[in-house]
Amino acid sequence: MLDVPYAMTIDGEWVFTNATDSAIKPATEAPICAFPLATRDDLDRAVAAAKHAYPEWRDRPLHERQALVAKMSDLVSDNMEKFVTLLITEQGKGRAAAE
Q: What is the domain extent for residue 15?
A: 1-59
Question: Do 75 and 55 share a structural domain?
Answer: no
Per-residue confidence (pLDDT) for residue 37, from 0 to 100 = 92
Per-residue confidence (pLDDT) for residue 86, from 0 to 100 = 84
Per-residue confidence (pLDDT) for residue 23, from 0 to 100 = 87
Total count of domains within the chain: 2
Paired residues of 35 in beta bridges:
21
Q: Average pLDDT of 46-54?
A: 97
Quick check: 6 pLDDT over 80? no
Question: Do 44 and 21 share a structural domain?
Answer: yes
Question: Do 23 and 71 share a structural domain?
Answer: no
Among 23, 34, 37, smallest CA distance to 88 is for: 23
Question: Do 15 and 47 share a structural domain?
Answer: yes
**Given CA atoms 28, 29, 34, 37 in this order, what sign does their dihedral have?**
positive
* Count of beta carbons in the 10 Å neighbourhood of residue 10: 19
Among 18, 8, 5, smallest CA distance to 43 is for: 8
Q: Could you tell me the pTM of the whole model?
A: 0.72
Cβ(17)–Cβ(41) below 8 Å: no
Question: Do 87 and 48 share a structural domain?
Answer: no
pLDDT tens, 62-73?
A: 999 999 999 999
Question: Do 1 and 18 share a structural domain?
Answer: yes
Question: Do 5 and 49 share a structural domain?
Answer: yes
Among 32, 18, 15, 43, smallest CA distance to 91 is for: 32
